[in-house]
Amino acid sequence: MNIEFNKNEDVNKQLVYELKTKLKKIYQGGGEKNAAKQKEKGKLLARERIAYLIDKDSNFLEVGAFTADGMYAEQGGCPSAGVVCGIGYVSGRQCMIVANDATVKAGAWFPMTAKKNLRAQEIAMENRLPVIYLVDSAGVYLPMQDEIFPDKEHFGRMFRNNAIMSAEGIVQISAIMGACVAGGAYLPIMSDEAMIVDKTGSVFLAGSYLVKSAIGEDVDNETLGGATTHCEISGVTDYKHPNDQACLDSIRNIMSMLGSPQVAGFDRIKPLKPKHNEEELYGIIPDSRDKPYEVMEVINRLIDGSEFEEYKQGYGQSIVCGLGRIDGWAVGIVANQRTVVKSKKGEMQFGGVIYSDSADKAARFIMNCNQKKIPLVFLQDVTGFMVGSRSEHGGIIKDGAKMVNAVANSVVPKFTIVMGNSYGAGNYAMCGKAYDPRLIYAWPTAKIAVMGGAQAAKTLLQIQEASLKSKGEEISAEKEAELLKEITDKYNSQTTPYYAASRLWVDGIIDPLETRKVISMGIEAANQSPVTRKFNVGMIQT
């Protein structure tokens, strides 16, 4: 190992340490004081409920742990958007679990809470995963109701999804384990089955105070909408349980009796570990996003046996395409090459840039994977498409459109890992969030933006200088340097993986060593949803 490798390893291990430290803080939810209040009521916390529910020693793939991170400061913050979501195994069956965290603003719904819940439902619908809702929420956070209530992708969309999933035979089970108020009452009751915990669970359209205000009736919450009321009088809920544990045991029992899902038929054989040491990923990824590296060094540490069938190896070399296996699953890999390479004409090509020939190659490879019913994995480290007169004359827009068309029309499941840069149209062509990857996760080294910080800052500075000069203001060299630093710092803060994860542009940030697990669990989920559409070749044949 050389000095550069050791330097990279130190930097990347530090980034992973920072990631795990941030996650530990997020896992605390609303803090010890609020957690103690829940415990006094005899309730388990949201993450404790999930840990109790899922199969012992099984994996849980969290979605959106960093959602709302750094947002809602004026409201006191909202860790994980007040809800824990993820794919877990219950009685051997993979499912989506959604658990309100009552330690965060009593589980109230912020705008990002709705977005996160909709993302969880989207994953469940795409993969036909059963959904388990562990409900404990005070409902919409009223001071921000205008940002969560009426629009197409706001609060009400969840209930629409409840109805759609039931109609499509996707099982939904809800457990009312705390408050369940107003519009939020529809989510568990629109599920296929609803159970409630005695004394702590309650569900009603209006609580006792609002009832008193609206119609003058004096009634306590337990009589209004407690477990006895809804299991013995209204018939709204189906099962009553004495505590959280009994309720969760009941869910496990029901899940154990589900019929087997139809399968898509993606190929899987006995998994193998990569021949190359996975931990060497830390030393391979450079300490700077501007430095080159050989992407095959990464691929060889992600695929089974480090065996890779490369497609068109000598053509379009700024993108590497090929077939391999991850945890036994057959996959087609599309990865940005970060070294400087020679084109077929002997021209030098910059690493991380998509050229016409590489876009054409990738489009055709994606088409082949669709014909063979092989899931696709995109490894992003892209600065965008090549610009300049030579590229424009060579039809870069046409070839780029072919690749985007192929990604957009792909019917096999797609999985995206943002390893490094994810800039501009390169984000789109390499299956960014807008192109419906089943899962999209980032490494701590990721950067997501329209362009790199240095280029963007200089462009923004020119615009700002022009604006000041139009007002007759002169700019000194010191002022220009100050402005450039201010713009650069602000722009760079918006390109971090944490900024992206807080807004759900990615489903989460992971240690690179978790990449194989994420992709394997994702394909396992996708395998429960047969591919019914045909791939539209469209522009790719032109």
Q: What is the pTM of this model?
A: 0.94
Q: What per-residue confidence (pLDDT) applies to 497?
A: 96
Residue among 112, 50, 37 at smallest CA distance from 81 = 112
Q: Give the helix/strand (H/E) hosting 272.
A: none
Beta carbons within 8 Å of 259's beta carbon, 6+ residues apart? none
Residue among 255, 7, 296, 227 at smallest CA distance from 132 = 255
Taking the C-alpha atoms of residue 93 and residue 328, their distance in angstroms, rounded to an integer, is 19
Taking the C-alpha atoms of residue 61 and residue 85, their distance in angstroms, rounded to an integer, is 9
Q: What per-residue confidence (pLDDT) applies to 474?
A: 73
CB crowding 1-34: b at 16 or more within 10 Å, else e: eeeeeeebbebbeebbeebeebeeebeebbeeeb
Q: Return the DSSP state at 288.
A: S
Q: Six-digit token pair at 64?
A: 């959106």
As a dihedral over the C-alpha atoms of residue 35, residue 51, residue 61, residue 263, rounded to 10 degrees, the angle is: -140
Place of tokens 């089970």: 173
Q: Six-digit token pair at 231?
A: 């299991």
Q: Return the DSSP state at 198.
A: T
Tell me how far CA of residue 540 lies from CA of 63, 228, 278, 363, 404, in angstroms. Answer: 33, 61, 36, 7, 10
Q: Is 443 within 8 Å of 512 (Cβ atoms)?
A: yes
Summarize pLDDT for 287-298 with one digit per residue, the tens: 998 899 999 999
Summarize pLDDT for 363-384 with one digit per residue, the tens: 999 999 999 999 999 999 999 8
* H-type alpha helices, 28-147: 32-40, 46-53, 111-127
Backbone φ and ψ of 528, nearest 5°: -90, 0
The ranges of the chain with pLDDT < 50 are none
Q: Give the helix/strand (H/E) hosting 221.
A: helix 221-225
* H-type alpha helices, 415-496: 424-429, 453-470, 477-493
Q: What per-residue confidence (pLDDT) applies to 119?
A: 98
Q: Name the percent of the chain in helix, strand, coil, to the closest 5.
A: 45, 20, 35
